């Protein structure tokens, strides 16, 4: 009988302790701690969620020289021979903004390299290593879900045209 009482106490004491701790913590609840500092809440992100209101893709032909005409009036960006209208994000692609380097041109190589250097914002990405080609593909998928496709580039370098058709 004495052993049964000992075993009962051994099993019951941890359970009683947990119940007591839970009761104490619920009666002294502190306000939830916000994991984001105030300054992070106010930061505006340039990344936007995918859109469900995009126009059907167009297949209008553009040359690389024609894209340059759109730099100030209407920003277009070519990526893997596809031309995206990024006008609605002029806060990012507009004159003097962080990604303006890609507006009005095909900057596929620079996107793949994650580079904002003007010399990298060129269409020929054939010499990129596989991991950077994957980054470029990720950008393409990102744009495809967020910007209207308004056409395709018709005079890409042969090496790029072959890659884009894979």
DSSP assignment, residue 150?
A: E
How do residues 14-37 score in pLDDT, each as one tens digit? 555 655 666 555 555 544 555 555
Look at residues 82, 88, 58 and name the one whose alpha carbon lies nearest to residue 153.
82
Q: What is the pLDDT of residue 41?
A: 46
Per-domain residue ranges of the chain? 62-164
pTM exceeding the 0.75 threshold for the entire prediction: no
Three-state SS string across 116-139, please? Answer: CCHHHCCCCCCCCCHHHHHHHHHH
**What are the phi and psi torsion angles at 159 (to 5°)?**
-60, -35
Residues of the chain with pLDDT under 50: 2-5, 9, 30-31, 39-43, 72-74, 161-163, 165-166
Q: Domain 62-164: what homologous superfamily?
A: Cytochrome b5-like heme/steroid binding domain (3.10.120.10)
């Amino acid at each position: 009988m004495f052993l049964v009482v000992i075993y009962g106490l051994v099993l019951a004491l941890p359970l009683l302790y947990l119940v007591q701790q839970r009761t104490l913590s619920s009666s002294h609840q502190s306000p939830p701690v916000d994991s984001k500092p105030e300054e992070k809440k106010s930061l505006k992100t340039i990344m936007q969620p995918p859109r469900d209101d995009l126009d059907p893709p167009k297949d209008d032909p553009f040359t690389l020289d024609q894209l340059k005409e759109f730099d100030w009036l209407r920003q277009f960006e070519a990526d893997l021979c596809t031309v995206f209208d990024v006008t609605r994000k002029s806060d990012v692609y507009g004159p003097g903004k962080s990604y303006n380097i890609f507006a009005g041109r095909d900057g596929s190589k620079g996107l793949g390299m994650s580079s904002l250097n003007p010399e990298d914002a060129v269409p020929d990405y054939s010499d990129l290593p596989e991991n950077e080609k994957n980054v470029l593909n990720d950008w393409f998928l990102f744009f495809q879900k967020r910007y209207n496709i308004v056409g395709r580039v018709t005079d890409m370098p042969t090496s790029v045209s072959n890659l884009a058709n894979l």
